[in-house]
């Protein structure tokens, strides 16, 4: 089930076409992976409560995606709801699931990293505080390049206005 208050929210006025869950390799936290210090705010993504919303055009099909943590970092599950004008079919939805796993780094095996660096006096407390955070690239290459080009122009003082 989605978090309370998110049962019927349909981004962009699209209708729900899929509700499922993904099982990332542990430890994993979607919220820490999607909304972390390196997060760049943009109009196509939003954290609302415990749900992460993303608008994207995948294989030419406009979609709304809602993701949320359903488990704990050591037993992770990510809820997924997909919204579209019409059902895009199981093939596209399977490819989208694979794309989301890649964009949100759900398949990396970080157990050796945690095992090796958790005892470290400097890294250990950070690994505990941010348990489950992963490197991610929620944007496609095109979306990332647009952000890079836009940020190249303004000076640091002007960035908050962008």
Residue reference for tokens 């050591």: 74
pTM: 0.77
Has residue 68 got a pLDDT over 50?
yes
Domains and CATH numbers, the chain: 11-161 (3.30.310.20)
DSSP state of 17: E
Q: How far apart are CA 65 and CA 60, in angstroms?
A: 15
**What pLDDT is attached to residue 45?**
83
Give the three-class secondary structure for 111: helix
Residue 138 has pLDDT above 70, yes or no: no
């Amino acid at each position: 089930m989605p978090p309370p208050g998110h049962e019927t929210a349909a981004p962009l006025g699209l209708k729900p076409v899929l509700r499922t869950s993904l099982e990332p390799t542990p430890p994993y936290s979607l919220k820490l992976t999607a909304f972390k210090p390196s997060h760049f705010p943009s109009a196509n993504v939003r954290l609302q409560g415990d749900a992460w919303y993303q608008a994207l055009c995948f294989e030419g099909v406009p979609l709304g995606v809602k993701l949320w943590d359903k488990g704990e970092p050591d037993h992770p599950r990510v809820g997924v709801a997909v919204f579209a004008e019409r059902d895009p079919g199981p093939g596209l939805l399977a490819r989208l699931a694979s794309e989301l796993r890649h964009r949100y780094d759900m398949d990396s095996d970080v157990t050796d990293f945690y095992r090796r660096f958790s005892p470290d006096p400097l890294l250990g407390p950070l690994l505990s505080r941010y348990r489950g955070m992963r490197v991610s690239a929620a944007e496609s290459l095109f979306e990332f390049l647009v952000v890079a080009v836009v940020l190249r122009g303004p000076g640091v003082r002007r960035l908050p206005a962008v």
